[in-house]
Amino acid sequence: MVVQAMASRLLGMTALRGLGPRAPGPPCRRAAPSRACSLLCPGRIFTKEDWDTKHSTISGRRQSPIDIQPAEGMFDSGLGPLHTHYHRSGPMLLYNNGYSFLAEYPDNCSANVLGGGPLQGRYRLKQFHFHWGASDERGSEHRVNGSAFPAELHLVHWHESCESFNEALVSKKGLAVLGVFVEVGETHARLQELVEALPNITHKGMMHEVGTFDPSGLLPPCLDFWTYPGSLTTPPPYETVTWFILKRSMSISGEQLASFRRLYVSAAGERAVRMVDNFRMPQPIMDRSVRSSFPVPIELQDAATDTAAPARG
Ligand SMILES: [Zn+2]
């Protein structure tokens, strides 16, 4: 059984490197939140007391998010490209957890995987979600040279050698999160099918099955990235995340972002509190280094103009 699992994992890894077809996995179960709430979802923005949650894996030395300061010397020519192997798959569950809305896949679903870069093996996509501000001047968790974007997408993956997502949460290198900065501009056609489902999950605790969805439509065509070791950005902030922040952003319309802001962190029947400013502030970099998969001097100019044009935050 173990040998069989290892063999299929090796098969999958080989196929991932070559971007060829993968051995078919078991059919996906119906999606369900792996915890009653994937986060401590208090129905409000987190307080200092929430962040003071103690856990043996939390050292406070590799917390996320951070302010990325592009500089010479960041480029690591040894970093291979990231490989995302995303497909239309499901069923996927939209879930208002009282802090963001999550698009969740079942634990056993390996239809969408991430590999490459500094990663060893494959990471399964568990869920994706956004962070955003009450206005466009703020909203992203990560920043570039001190500047924030209106929102940030996080695609949360867990290492398939773990038994479950919950085990991966507390396992060294158990998680890999892909972050994409969000700018306000053109309507994002692929995101629209989720935006139209949001009225079904207006309040905390509400869920809605959306069938299948292809997360590859959310990614920019270029996957150049910054990477660093960090943590979850919601309590408890386990330090088990390898972060990838894409240099290229995605664009959504003001109306799509307004749909996010129409959600509530409060449950139905409670005093209504809008779901806005659901981001954590940048944390000290400590003794970590941030590496980039792209040469910095040229791309830095690039990032400052056509891509990373964040609002001053
Ligand atoms: Zn997040």
Cβ(182)–Cβ(153) below 8 Å: yes
pLDDT of residue 12: 35
CA of 65 to the centre of ligand 1 (A): 9
CA of 178 to the centre of ligand 1 (A): 9
Cβ(265)–Cβ(99) below 8 Å: yes
Q: Is the pTM value of this prediction over 0.85?
A: no
CA of 210 to the centre of ligand 1 (A): 21
Token match 């690591």: residue?
76
CA of 229 to the centre of ligand 1 (A): 15
CA of 125 to the centre of ligand 1 (A): 13
For residue 180, give both structure tokens: 């994409």
- DSSP at 106: -
Using one digit for the tens of pLDDT, what is the confidence trace for 80-105?
A: 999 999 999 888 899 999 999 999 98
pLDDT of residue 237: 87
User: Residue 120: is it exposed, middle or buried by C-beta count within 10 angstroms (0-12/13-18/19+)?
Assistant: exposed
CA of 7 to the centre of ligand 1 (A): 33
Token match 């489902």: residue?
197
User: Residue 50: is it exposed, middle or buried by C-beta count within 10 angstroms (0-12/13-18/19+)?
Assistant: middle
- DSSP at 205: T
C-alpha–C-alpha distance, residues 107 and 120, integer Å = 19
DSSP lists the bridge partners of residue 125 as: 157
User: Residue 81: is it exposed, middle or buried by C-beta count within 10 angstroms (0-12/13-18/19+)?
Assistant: exposed
C-alpha–C-alpha distance, residues 119 and 227, integer Å = 11
List the chain residues with pLDDT less than 50. Answer: 1-26, 28, 31-41, 298-313
CA of 160 to the centre of ligand 1 (A): 20
pLDDT of residue 172: 92
C-alpha–C-alpha distance, residues 12 and 32, integer Å = 25
228: closest CA among 122, 58, 74? 74
* 13 residue type, one letter: M
CA of 127 to the centre of ligand 1 (A): 10
φ/ψ (deg, to 5) at 232: -65, 155
pLDDT of residue 58: 72
CA of 190 to the centre of ligand 1 (A): 20
Phi-psi region of 169 (alpha: psi -120 to 50; beta: other; left: phi over 0): alpha
Token match 């999950």: residue?
201
For residue 242, give both structure tokens: 């390898």
pLDDT of residue 110: 80
Residues whose CB is under 5 A from ligand 1 (ion)?
154
202: closest CA among 257, 260, 277? 260
* CA angle 230–236–240, rounded 5-degree value: 30
Termini Cα distance of the chain = 52
CA of 289 to the centre of ligand 1 (A): 21
C-alpha–C-alpha distance, residues 205 and 98, integer Å = 7
pLDDT of residue 297: 57
pLDDT of residue 311: 41
pLDDT of residue 109: 73
pLDDT of residue 300: 46
For residue 107, give both structure tokens: 């634990």
CA of 252 to the centre of ligand 1 (A): 18
C-alpha–C-alpha distance, residues 110 and 87, integer Å = 10
